[in-house]
C-alpha cells in the first residue's frame, strides 16, 4: 500500500485545465518593482503587450486588456455591443457556455439557447437553420465557446462563421477562447470573429487576473449605438489611451510584466510549434485513456481538445473520490466535473508550460490512482502514451534530418 503524503516532497502536479502552471521565468518577471503606470517606461511596456496580443489573436484590429477574470471579458463583449432586450443566440456546449448564457440573461438580453449534449461542439448546420429562419434579423449576436473547458470539446469557429455568412445574417460572432488562446490555433481576423474573449491563466501561462477582448471594426461600430450600461468595461475609454501604452485606470502592472515574458516565450517557441506540442501531448493522453479502457467524454474525434481531456468514470464509481485519492497519495490535482458532469468525469489538463515528461508523470499518477481507488481499468495506459510520444519524437527527428539534408544539398 502506498502511504499518504502528509508532508509531500517534490512539486505539486497542477493538472487541472487552468489555472495552468506558471513558469519560473514568468514568476521572476512578475517579481519586479512596480513602476509609475503613467511614466514613459510603462508606456513602452503597454505598447509591447498590446502589440504582442494582436499577434496571439492573429488580428490587425484592436485588443483591450482588462485587470479582470475572463468573466469580466464576457461582460465587456456583451455590454459594448448590445442593447437591453436584444436577442442573442447561444450554443449549449458545456458549463461555461451555460454561465455566459446566464450572464446575458442577467444583463437584460433575450437568449435562445441551442441545446447540446455536452459531448459535441457547435453544429454549423443548426446555426444555419436558426439564422435562416430569422428573416427579420432579430438575433444581434451569436456567442460560442471555442474550447469548452468543462468537456474537452473544440468548436470549429471557422465553420460557424461560414454558416452565418451562408444565411447572409448580420449577427455579430462572439467567441470565448479563455481556455484555448495560446494553446490552439485561433484566427480572429481570418475567421471573421467580431469579439474574441480570453483570459491570462491558461495557455498564456500567467496567474489569473488579466482578460482580453479582440474587437473587429464591425463590433466597434456596433458599440457606437449599443445602450447596455457600461463604465469600467467601456472599450472607448481604453482605445482612447491605449495607443500611447496606457490605460484609463490603474492596470495590473506586475501581471503585465508577466504577460510580456509569456509573449516572449510563445514567440521564441513559435506559435505553430506550440500548437503542435499541445496536439501531440493531447493525443498521447487519449492513447492512455483508451488503453485503460475508459471513455473520453468528447464523442467526435475531430473535436478533441488539445488543452484537456475529460474522462468518464465507470458506472458506480465517483470521480471526486478518485481525484481525492490521487491528491492524497501523489500530490496531484485533477479537474473536477462541473454541474451536469459533477462526480461523473475527471479532467486532465495538458496545456501551457507542459512537456512529455510532465505528461508521463501525470499519467503515472492517474494510473496508480485508478488502482488505489479500485476503479476498473486495464493496465498499460502510461506505456501506450510513452510509445506514442517516442514514435512522434522519432518521426519529428527524421523529418528534421530530411530537412537538413535538403538544406545541405541546396
pLDDT tens digits, residue range 244-292? 999 999 999 999 999 999 999 999 999 999 999 999 999 999 999 999 9
Which grid cell is 173?
A: 460572432
In this structure, of 8-17, 47-56, 361-370, the range with the lowest mean pLDDT score is 8-17
Residue range 345-383, pLDDT digits in tens: 999 999 999 999 999 999 999 999 999 999 999 999 999
Which grid cell is 258?
A: 508577466
Q: How far is CA 185 from the centre of its chain?
A: 11
- Could you give the CA distance from residue 310 to residue 41 in angstroms, rounded to a whole number? 44
Mean pLDDT over each residue of the chain, to the nearest integer: 95
Buried b (16+ CB within 10 A) or exposed e, 63-84: bbbbbbbbbbbbbbbbbbbbee
- Could you give the CA distance from residue 19 to residue 315 in angstroms, rounded to a whole number? 29
Which pLDDT value is given to residue 6? Answer: 65
Name the β-bridge partners of 295.
Answer: 312
Residue 366, H or E segment: helix 356-372
Query: What SS3 class is residue 89?
Result: strand
Inter-residue contact 154 to 146 (CB < 8 Å):
yes
For residue 4, pLDDT beyond 80: no
Q: How many CB atoms lie within 10 A of CB 251?
A: 19
For residue 222, pLDDT beyond 80: yes
How confident is the model over 222-227, as a mean pLDDT? Answer: 98
Which grid cell is 317?
A: 464509481
- Could you give the CA distance from residue 314 to residue 83 in angstroms, rounded to a whole number? 46
Which pLDDT value is given to residue 244? Answer: 98
Which pLDDT value is given to residue 5? Answer: 62
Residue range 90-144, pLDDT digits in tens: 999 999 999 999 999 999 999 999 999 999 999 999 999 999 999 999 999 999 9
339's CB contacts (< 8 A; 6+ apart) are 95, 98, 150
Inter-residue contact 289 to 305 (CB < 8 Å):
no
For the sheet containing 13-15, what is the strand order?
Answer: 13-15, 332-336, 345-349, 308-312, 295-296
Which grid cell is 280?
A: 501531440
Q: Within the chain, what is the greatest distance between any pair of CA atoms?
A: 67
Complete domains list, the chain, with CATH = 24-267 (3.40.640.10), 270-409 (3.90.1150.10)
Grade residue 405 by pLDDT with cuts at 50, 70 and 90.
Answer: very low
- Distance set, CA 36 to CA 47, 206, 210, 254, 260 (Å): 15, 22, 19, 11, 17
Name the β-bridge partners of 349.
Answer: 308
For residue 2, pLDDT beyond 80: no
Q: What is the DSSP letter of 180?
A: T
For residue 393, pLDDT beyond 90: no
For residue 400, pLDDT beyond 70: no
Known binder of ligand: residue 347?
yes
Q: Which residue has the higher pLDDT, 409 or 118?
A: 118
118's CB contacts (< 8 A; 6+ apart) are 92, 93, 94, 148, 150, 151, 153, 297, 340, 341
Inter-residue contact 390 to 359 (CB < 8 Å):
no
Grade residue 13 by pLDDT with cuts at 50, 70 and 90.
Answer: very high
Q: How far is CA 183 from the centre of its chain?
A: 7
**Full DSSP string of 201-263:** SSTT-PPS--EEEEE-HHHHHHHTT--S--STT-HHHHHHHGGGT--SS---HHHHHHHHHHH
Alpha helices in 80-209 (DSSP H): 95-106, 124-133, 157-167
Which grid cell is 98?
A: 451555460
Name the β-bridge partners of 115.
Answer: none
Which pLDDT value is given to residue 396? Answer: 58
Residue range 281-338, pLDDT digits in tens: 999 999 999 999 999 999 999 999 999 999 999 999 999 999 999 999 999 999 999 9
Which pLDDT value is given to residue 407? Answer: 43
For residue 398, pLDDT beyond 90: no
Which pLDDT value is given to residue 318? Answer: 98
Q: What is the pTM of this model?
A: 0.93
Q: What is the DSSP letter of 304?
A: B
33 burial class (0-12, 13-18, 19+ CB within 10 angstroms)?
A: exposed
3-state secondary structure 24-92: HHHHHHHCCCCCCCCCHHHHHHHHHHHHHHHHHHCCCCEEEEECCCHHHHHHHHHHCCCCCCCEEEEEC
For residue 397, pLDDT beyond 70: no
Percent of the chain with pLDDT over 70: 94
Amino acid at each position: 500500500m502506498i502511504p499518504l503524503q502528509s508532508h509531500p516532497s517534490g512539486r505539486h502536479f497542477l493538472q487541472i485545465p487552468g489555472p495552468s502552471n506558471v513558469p519560473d521565468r514568468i514568476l521572476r518577471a512578475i517579481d519586479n518593482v512596480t513602476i509609475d503606470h503613467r511614466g514613459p517606461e510603462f508606456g513602452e511596456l503597454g505598447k509591447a503587450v498590446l502589440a504582442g496580443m494582436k499577434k496571439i489573436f492573429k488580428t490587425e484590429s484592436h485588443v483591450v486588456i482588462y485587470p479582470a477574470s475572463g468573466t469580466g471579458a464576457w461582460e465587456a463583449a456583451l455590454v459594448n455591443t448590445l442593447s437591453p432586450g436584444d436577442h442573442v443566440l447561444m450554443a449549449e456546449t458545456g458549463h461555461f457556455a451555460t454561465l455566459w448564457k446566464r450572464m446575458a440573461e442577467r444583463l437584460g438580453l433575450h437568449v435562445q439557447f441551442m441545446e447540446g449534449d455536452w459531448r459535441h461542439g457547435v453544429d454549423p448546420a443548426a446555426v444555419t437553420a436558426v439564422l435562416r429562419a430569422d428573416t427579420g434579423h432579430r438575433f444581434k449576436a451569436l456567442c460560442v465557446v471555442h474550447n469548452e473547458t468543462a468537456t474537452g470539446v473544440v468548436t470549429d469557429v471557422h465553420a460557424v462563421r461560414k454558416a452565418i455568412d451562408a444565411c447572409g445574417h448580420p449577427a455579430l460572432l462572439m467567441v470565448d477562447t479563455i481556455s484555448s488562446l495560446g494553446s490552439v490555433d485561433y484566427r480572429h481576423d481570418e475567421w471573421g470573429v467580431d469579439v474574441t474573449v480570453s483570459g491570462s491563466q491558461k495557455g498564456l501561462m500567467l496567474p489569473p487576473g488579466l482578460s482580453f477582448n479582440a474587437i473587429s471594426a464591425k463590433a466597434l461600430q456596433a458599440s457606437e449605438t449599443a445602450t447596455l450600461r457600461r463604465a469600467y468595461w467601456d472599450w472607448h475609454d481604453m482605445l482612447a489611451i491605449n495607443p500611447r501604452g496606457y490605460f484609463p485606470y490603474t492596470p495590473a502592472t506586475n501581471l503585465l510584466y508577466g504577460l510580456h515574458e509569456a509573449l516572449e516565450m510563445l514567440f521564441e517557441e513559435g506559435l505553430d510549434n506550440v500548437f503542435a506540442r499541445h496536439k501531440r501531448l493531447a493525443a498521447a493522453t487519449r492513447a492512455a485513456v483508451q488503453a485503460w479502457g475508459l471513455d473520453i467524454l468528447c464523442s467526435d474525434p475531430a473535436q478533441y481538445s488539445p488543452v484537456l481531456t475529460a474522462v468518464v468514470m465507470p458506472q458506480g464509481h465517483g470521480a471526486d473520490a478518485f481525484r481525492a485519492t490521487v491528491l492524497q497519495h501523489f500530490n496531484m490535482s485533477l479537474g473536477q466535473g462541473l454541474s451536469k458532469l459533477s462526480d461523473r468525469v475527471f479532467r486532465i489538463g495538458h496545456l501551457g508550460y507542459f512537456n512529455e515528461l510532465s505528461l508521463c508523470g501525470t499519467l503515472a499518477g492517474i494510473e496508480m490512482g485508478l488502482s488505489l481507488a479500485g476503479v476498473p481499468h486495464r493496465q498499460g495506459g502510461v506505456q501506450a502514451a510513452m510509445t506514442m510520444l517516442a514514435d512522434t519524437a522519432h518521426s519529428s527527428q527524421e523529418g528534421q534530418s530530411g530537412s537538413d539534408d535538403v538544406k545541405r544539398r541546396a
